[in-house]
Amino acid sequence: MTSPIIAGTVPVSTLGTPRIGPRRELKAALESYWSGRSDAAALLDTCARLRAANWARQASLGIANIPSNDFSLYDHVLDTAVMVGAVPSVYGANEGSVGLDTYFAMARGSTGDVATCAHGHAHDNGAGVPALEMTKWFDTNYHFMVPELERGQRFRLASSKPVDEYREAAALGYRTRPVLLGPVTFLTLAKSRDPGFDPVSLIGDLLPIYGEVLRRLAASGATWVQMDEPCLALDLNAVTQAALREAYGFFAHALPQIQIMLTSYFGGLGGNRDLALSLPVAGLHLDLIRAQDQLDDVVAQARPGLVLSLGVIDGRNIWRADLSRLLDRLEPVLRRRGTDHVEIAPSCSLLHVPIDVEQEADLDPEVKNWLAFAVQKIGELTTLATALSYGRAAVEERLAASDAVVAARKASAKVHNAAVTARLAGVTPEMTRRASPFAERRLAQGRRLSLPLLPTTTIGSFPQTGEVRKARAAYGKGALDSAAYEAFVKEETARTVRWQDEIGLDVLVHGEFERNDMVQYFAEQLDGFAFTKHGWVQSYGSRYVRPPILFGDVARPRPMTVAWWRYARSLTDKPMKGMLTGPVTILNWSFVRDDVARSTVSRQIALAIRDEVQDLQAAGAAMIQIDEAAIREGLPLRPAEWQAYLDWAVESFRLCASGVKDETQIHTHMCYSEFNDIIVSIAAMDADVISIETSRSKMELLGAFVEDHYPNEIGPGVYDIHSPRVPSVEEMTELLERALDRIAPEQLWVNPDCGLKTRRWEEVRPALVNMVAAATGLRRRLAKAAE
Ligand SMILES: Nc1nc2c(c(=O)[nH]1)N[C@@H](CNc1ccc(C(=O)N[C@@H](CCC(=O)N[C@@H](CCC(=O)N[C@@H](CCC(=O)O)C(=O)O)C(=O)O)C(=O)O)cc1)CN2
Ligand code: MET
Ligand SMILES: [Zn+2]
């Protein structure tokens, strides 16, 4: 029997939990409110119940530091902008506290129509304003609303949310540790319309607002506050480092009664280590999944009283942990620092994993036994804490179970496919190169396709209406047979193809009605993946995904999209794009096995997609789009690691796209991409046409393509599909003119920013009609000018 290491108990913290509810209660409540089917009181009531359930669950599992203010109606960065009164003037008067309608206008934009719900409440903001820009939260598939700040920005306390939620928990009997997005990360994520202005310079003006929030939290009884500064995982310039010193110096001085747990996550402290260790905070959280190696140095250098929060359970993936191995690493740290100065936690907030694997009745039991979702991860943490506090013997059975799982997964026949390994070994450099350079391919494609100047197209999906989802759900449950489901999808597809033809689009798509999700749909047809029913993870606002679980070698048993493409092609004489998701995106939007390198998994997927590309070509497809929406998101946070990633990511794309003839036009699509840094790699993908998101940033992104002489064709999005607003002909014409200032007309395509699946037909119809009008108007002008 092992003897206890130390006398006290090791506290467990969670940093943050999923907000959406085990059955997507938040989505239902939000969408019902937005559509006017329910009122604000009903929405807020659901939210309060979700928070209470989260606190109760964590309390019952034995969590010492339960977070509050980790909940959000839409996004925690938006919450923070609202908290400090950073509400751009287009959203209304800059005084008083920010109401629900203003909040949602910032999140989603508004049409300017006022919908009246069954209770007679008006649900809109009247203004007709665009949403804030939205972009990826570090390297995750979670999106945040980008705060907009200006020179001379005034801040004010405009929301008491953190204090309200602290008190709400207290009233229920939970003493929580409130979470705030730290002021420095908030400013680094913000943007200014004035390119010469760095929002980080506003730190001195921002701190008093945070100070006031901390003071009110203290007055309400809070003693600890978690400040999230994931910017610590980035390479920071001197100005940002100074801002961190200023911020945490200010809090220590002005609010000595509040103890701050400063969290870093999504990476190691790297070059910020000495800075982080020098800050006058009470605690420091480390991500020991992404950066295991930092533990020894930090332990060696941390001042004796600093509480170290050890992020040892993966908050970004779903595999059960090797608890015995973790204890081997943790026990010496505990011996050294004692229980008063160590906590254990997930590596980051549990926002990025599903809630409870026990909800998955249909999962293959073998695979299911390998998995830990949020609830199970908390269980792993309490097991570790018990072992650390009372000795391994106190949790002998649970450790034995963990050991058994580790061994079983390693040995499982499900994981290994010799044919896949052999095929990968046979990949040659020629397989990653098109036969001819772009200039030659372009001529061959031009002859085959004879497209007009500024060809119009869309990105692939058309509205996934409630009807479409219902039909698929009914099919899944067996209430609709496969013939009836297929007939339904055919009908949707046919109507959509005909409509595109009618309004004069040049290159058509089939609409993706048969797909639940652009990654899940492919994963479901590939070997090596498992799926959940309820494993939803928030992507943005009320939009969630169920990332497939990639547990084994990936192979494609049969064609995945050819039949639907063939059907769509039969309905029109215009070019019909084949529509695929690329290997890097399938990888990045899945929970991926951790027993082989990501580069290997990526190549396996690339070979599967390569077969599909070739099958589409053989069926007659002249254009094939391979979406790589997540290629930028997968970029490591620190530039030193970029090249290694880009090398295999680009190679994977080329491996899947290069097996075709010159005359076959390969398209790719990317959204939310900050391309400036990686434009050379984007060019190296060598897609004949790329469509990108640019409308919210008003073509700013095109800069990179111009400066680096991007050689191939480009469709910079002219229509922000994330907002219900219908863009006007004038607006899109202006964006196209801006694009034409920078790139040649022969290089320019006209398309929306992204797929239209989240929009309603009522929005899509006028928007695309306007888009075609903008393109044809400009085409006419260009033709005249050429006369
Ligand atoms: N994986 C992924 N990541 C991405 C994107 C993406 O498309 N996929 N796009 C970017 C933006 N992110 C997005 C993420 C999700 C959605 C989205 O639309 N999600 C849908 C769910 C999509 C889905 O899986 N649909 C399934 C299940 C639909 C469903 O909820 N069915 C109901 C029943 C149907 C009903 O009665 O309405 C049920 O299961 O209970 C289907 O269509 O089959 C949603 O939250 O509403 C859009 C964009 C970046 N990241
Ligand atoms: C998130 S990128 C989406 C690409 C996909 N083809 C669609 O149109 O929905
Ligand atoms: Zn997209």
Q: What is the pLDDT of residue 127?
A: 44
Ligand closest to Cα of 582 equals 2
> In 448-532, at which residue ranges do the beta strands (DSSP E only) sit?
527-530
State both tokens at 251: 């809090």
User: For 31-90, what is each residue's pLDDT tens digit?
Assistant: 999 999 999 999 999 999 999 999 999 999 999 999 999 999 999 999 999 999 999 999
- Most ligand 1 atoms within 8 A of CB, residue of 31, 135, 489, 543 to mutate: 543
* Residue linked to tokens 């698929």: 472
Q: What is the pLDDT of residue 708?
A: 73
Q: What is the pLDDT of residue 671?
A: 86
- Once rounded to an integer, what is the mean pLDDT over residues 332-337? 91
- Most ligand 2 atoms within 8 A of CB, residue of 135, 141, 143, 459 to mutate: 459
Say if residue 47 carries a ligand binding annotation: no
Report CA dihedral (675, 681, 686, 687) to the nearest 10 degrees: -30
Does the pLDDT at position 688 exceed 60? yes
Pick the residue whose CA is nearest to atom 9 on ligand 2: 755
Q: How open is the CA angle 632-724-17, to the nearest 5 degrees?
A: 55
The answer to whether 542 and 73 have CB atoms below 8 angstroms apart is: no
CATH fold for domain 441-525+560-786: TIM Barrel (3.20.20)
Q: What is the pLDDT of residue 220?
A: 98
Q: Which residue has the higher pLDDT, 298 or 725?
A: 298
Domains in the chain: boundaries:
51-78+138-411, 441-525+560-786
Does the pLDDT at position 128 exceed 80? no
Does the pLDDT at position 382 exceed 80? yes
Confidence band (pLDDT; 50, 70, 90) for 786? confident
Q: What is the pLDDT of residue 227?
A: 98
Query: Does the beta carbon of 473 lie inside 6 Å of ligand 1?
Result: yes
Q: What is the pLDDT of residue 7?
A: 52
The catalytic residue positions are 722
User: For 546-589, what is each residue's pLDDT tens digit?
Assistant: 999 999 999 999 999 999 999 999 999 999 999 999 999 999 99
User: For 726-782, what is each residue's pLDDT tens digit?
Assistant: 999 999 999 999 999 999 999 999 999 999 999 999 999 999 999 999 999 999 999
User: For 690-707, what is each residue's pLDDT tens digit?
Assistant: 999 988 778 888 888 887
Ligand 3 centroid – CA 684 distance (Å): 20
Ligand closest to Cα of 671 equals 3
Q: What is the model's pTM? A: 0.96
- Distance in angstroms (rounded) separating the CA atoms of residues 734 and 774: 9
Q: Which of 578, 598, 674, 584 is nearest to 629 (CA)?
A: 584
Say if residue 669 carries a ligand binding annotation: yes
Query: Does the beta carbon of 460 lie inside 6 Å of ligand 2?
Result: yes
- Most ligand 1 atoms within 8 A of CB, residue of 514, 516, 539, 723 to mutate: 539
Ligand 2 centroid – CA 265 distance (Å): 29
- Once rounded to an integer, what is the mean pLDDT over residues 334-346? 92
Whether the domain at 51-78+138-411 and the domain at 441-525+560-786 fall into the same CATH topology: yes
- Distance in angstroms (rounded) separating the CA atoms of residues 668 and 691: 6
Q: What is the pLDDT of residue 111?
A: 72
Ligand 2 centroid – CA 517 distance (Å): 9
Ligand 1 centroid – CA 784 distance (Å): 45
Ligand closest to Cα of 754 equals 3
The answer to whether 72 and 106 have CB atoms below 8 angstroms apart is: no
Q: Provide the CATH number for the domain formed by 51-78+138-411 in this structure.
A: 3.20.20.210
Cα-based distances in Å from 401 to 313, 326, 344, 702, 731: 17, 14, 21, 54, 61
Query: Does the beta carbon of 470 lie inside 6 Å of ligand 1?
Result: yes
Query: Does the beta carbon of 578 lie inside 6 Å of ligand 2?
Result: no
- Once rounded to an integer, what is the mean pLDDT over residues 526-552? 98
Query: Does the beta carbon of 519 lie inside 6 Å of ligand 1?
Result: yes
Residues, the chain: 787
- Distance in angstroms (rounded) separating the CA atoms of residues 354 and 17: 10
Does the pLDDT at position 92 exceed 90? no
Helix (H, G, I), strand (E, B) or coil at 273: helix
Q: Which helix (H) or strand (E) element contains residue 574?
A: none
744 alpha carbon, distance to own chain's centre: 33
Cα-based distances in Å from 200 to 135, 208, 273, 634: 18, 15, 20, 25
Q: What is the mean pLDDT of the chain?
A: 94
